[in-house]
Amino acid sequence: MLHRIFGIETEYGLLINEEQPDRPPSWVAYQIIEHLFRVKRYGVLDLHHRGYDEPPGNGGFLLNGGRMYVDMGHLEFASPECHSLRDLVASDRAGDWILQDAIEELGLAENVSLIKNNIDHETGATFGCHENYLVSRNFPFSYKGLGKLIPFLVTRQIFTGAGRIGSAENHDGWIPIEDLAGQDPLMQASHERLAVPFQISQRADYIVNDFFEWVQHNRAIINTRDEPLADPTQFRRIHLLVGDSNLSEIATTLKMGTTGLVLQLIEDGHAPTGLDFHDPVETLRAVSRDSDRTWMVTLATGERLSAIDIQDRFLELARKHYHGQDEETDWVLELWEGVLNDLRGDYKQLVGRVDWASKLWLLETFREQENLPWEDPWLKSLDLEYHNVDPQKGLYFGLVEEGSAPRVTTNDAIQLAKYAPPRNTRAFGRGEVIRHLSEQSWPDVQDSHQSEHRFPPYVINWSVFQVRGSSAFIMPDPFRTYAQEVRDHLKI
């Protein structure tokens, strides 16, 4: 897609299938990290502190140019920089495969499951899916400019949502004024589990602000942190954490591709106006919890529209201005139009393409067969199993097996993406660094001296690396591969 670099960061849930496990999930996470980097040599571990919460050995960069690490006790995979959506989907799926391979090679597959979702029904823990989009430094990075993105993000969940049973408790002491006043039946906490047995988004309940700089405890629709991980005079990075983790390859493509086009509309001054909400967070939740799936919302102007109508306005302008700009754009426009048309009819038309629809169909079918109420624990278990990345167990992969879930990549492409970075972005040059370093021996983190933590043999970041004995090599442009320059620098 024109002038766009994409990336996805996925946090995984670890489910230990034992009544009384003798090891916590975090122990399993670190076993996987040790296996990937020490045994399989999929990359090189950090030998330095990346932050107060990322000590040496916490994770590292992979041969494919991405990162695998432990974040607050759970595994997280950050994809390499991708210039095409097919590369992005393949890289995203490669993260799943790398981790599932490790589970099996460690002999843990019978008792441990990797869950690519965003919630734990029992503990209330959440797992994020963070989206990254490179934009020009000239992007209108202000409340006025970014505000044009809000209506799109609030309503895109109708095709990007992963779906969930029930709803979240209020947490961190945050209670909407509507709950206290009892004004909004969709927002009442005590009995909403029965009122909203199923909703279309997993993240909607955990978003409490429209704009905020940090990602913990005050999750916002748009994260306003200015951290480009590239030349700050040329680029910005739009970092979003409002979206769900997707299993459907079509849903991942639509989530990233449509957002990329809307960012282009904003950059070029073509974004629709007059679609603001009085309270975007409340609207986000109301759309997610609308059991009738009409998704009617009220604009700040008082006008009533459906979420589909709002998406149609963005699609219409994207088609008007960008149809024909490249093959990938036209592909996204076609997918976008198709899914919006089908959302106006029976949701079953979307099974295999939209995760919430696929999950709802599976749960409804099973619930009717077994005559179960929505609050039955069996359904919650199936909710989780939809997201199991093990293709032998995950319910989504049953749809793939029977041909009901269209693919946008191939197993061969995913297998390649486990080891090889995209060859048209900065990840290619970083991959050369990782490959060179992974062929050498390095001290165990536990055996290295404190001085080596401060002055390690190598330091690798997204836009720079340095190997002891040579100068730092800066890679400020994510669109450049730097492959030959890196080889020359390392004399390989």
Determine, yes or no, domain membership for 344.
Answer: yes
- Considering only residues 49 and 199, tell me which one the structure prediction assigns the higher pLDDT: 199
Determine, yes or no, domain membership for 232.
Answer: no
Q: Indicate if 420 and 373 belong to the same structural domain.
A: no
Q: Indicate if 195 and 306 belong to the same structural domain.
A: yes
Q: Indicate if 381 and 487 belong to the same structural domain.
A: no
pLDDT value, residue 49: 87
By CB atoms closer than 10 A (0-12, 13-18, 19+), residue 53 is: exposed
Determine, yes or no, domain membership for 236.
Answer: no
Determine, yes or no, domain membership for 220.
Answer: no
Q: pLDDT at residue 447 above 70?
A: no
Of the candidates 251, 238, 230, the residue with the CA atom closest to the CA atom of residue 132: 238
Q: Indicate if 416 and 370 belong to the same structural domain.
A: no
Q: How far apart are CA 58 and CA 69, in angstroms?
A: 6
Q: What is the pLDDT of residues 291-333, one digit of tens each?
A: 999 999 999 999 999 999 999 999 999 999 999 999 999 999 9
Determine, yes or no, domain membership for 221.
Answer: no
Work out the pLDDT band at 177, boundaries 50, 70, 90: very low
Determine, yes or no, domain membership for 184.
Answer: yes
DSSP state of 39: I
pLDDT value, residue 142: 87
Determine, yes or no, domain membership for 30.
Answer: yes
- Count the domains in the chain: 2
The letter for the amino acid at 416 is L
Q: Indicate if 272 and 352 belong to the same structural domain.
A: yes
Work out the pLDDT band at 441, boundaries 50, 70, 90: confident
What percent of the chain stands above pLDDT 70?
Answer: 91
Q: pLDDT at residue 170 above 70?
A: no
Q: Indicate if 148 and 109 belong to the same structural domain.
A: no
Determine, yes or no, domain membership for 127.
Answer: no
Q: pLDDT at residue 451 above 90?
A: no
Q: Indicate if 416 and 335 belong to the same structural domain.
A: no
Tokens 């093959």, located at residue? 327
User: Which of 71, 120, 376, 390 is the catalytic position?
Assistant: 71
Please enumerate, as own/partner, the contacts of 309-315 that have beta carbons within 8 Å and a separation of 24 or more.
310/151, 310/152, 310/155, 310/275, 311/152, 311/155, 311/156, 311/158, 311/159, 311/336, 311/340, 312/340, 313/272, 313/275, 314/152, 314/258, 314/261, 314/262, 314/265, 314/271, 314/272, 315/258, 315/340
Is 71 in the active site?
A: yes
139: left (phi over 0), alpha (psi -120 to 50) or beta: beta
CB-side exposure of 212: number of CA atoms within 13 Å?
15
Domain boundary among 387, 404, 430: 387
- Note the pTM of the prediction, 2 decimals: 0.92
Q: Indicate if 202 and 350 belong to the same structural domain.
A: yes
Q: Indicate if 314 and 417 belong to the same structural domain.
A: no
Contact (Cβ atoms closer than 8 angstroms) between residue 42 and residue 62: yes
pLDDT value, residue 169: 65
Q: Indicate if 326 and 370 belong to the same structural domain.
A: yes
Of the listed ranges 224-228, 276-280, 374-378, 401-405, the least confidently predicted one is 224-228
* Residue-range definition of the domain harbouring residue 275: 138-211+247-387
Of the candidates 318, 162, 172, the residue with the CA atom closest to the CA atom of residue 245: 162
Q: Indicate if 356 and 417 belong to the same structural domain.
A: no
